[in-house]
């Protein structure tokens, strides 16, 4: 079995990756990282550097993993769900942004589509808030 995590270089992405690594260890699974771009204009060398940073982190975590990089034209939600279906995932992990009370009424469109279309349970995590 495998765990699929959607990763983008943000605090939410880091929280999702941390949770996915913990779940991978707990379940003795393989981790599939779906690396998405933050914007359509991301520099390819920057994207490769981000992928290398994820590889280093996962090598240090000593878990089995694969990294899949999305193309600019790929739909993030659809790609995560398709990857989960392809590998028979037991869990999808995603990061969520903190929202205002009004914003909580509307979940982000990618998160909502993943939650509704996922073929397995979805773990949604938020980054830890800094102490004020």
**Mean pLDDT confidence for 66-71:** 90
66/88 Cα distance (integer angstroms): 14
Q: Has residue 81 got a pLDDT over 90?
A: yes
pTM of the predicted protein model: 0.87
Q: Which of 3, 17, 2, 6 is nearest to 113 (CA)?
A: 6
Pairing relationship of beta strands 122-125 and 91-95 according to DSSP bridges: parallel
pLDDT in tens, 5-26: 999 988 999 999 999 999 999 9
120/84 Cα distance (integer angstroms): 8
């Amino acid at each position: 079995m495998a765990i699929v995590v959607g990763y983008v270089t943000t605090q939410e992405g880091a929280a999702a990756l941390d949770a996915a690594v913990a779940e991978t260890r707990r379940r003795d699974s393989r981790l599939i990282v779906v690396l998405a771009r933050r914007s359509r204009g991301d520099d390819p060398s920057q994207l490769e550097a981000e992928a290398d940073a994820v590889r280093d982190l996962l090598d240090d975590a000593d878990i089995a993993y694969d990294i899949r990089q999305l193309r600019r034209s790929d739909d993030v939600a659809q790609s995560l769900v398709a990857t989960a279906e392809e590998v028979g995932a037991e869990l999808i992990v995603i990061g969520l942004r903190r929202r205002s009370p009004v914003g909580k009424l509307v979940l982000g469109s990618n998160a909502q589509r993943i939650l509704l279309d996922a073929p397995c349970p979805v773990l949604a995590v938020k980054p830890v808030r800094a102490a004020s």
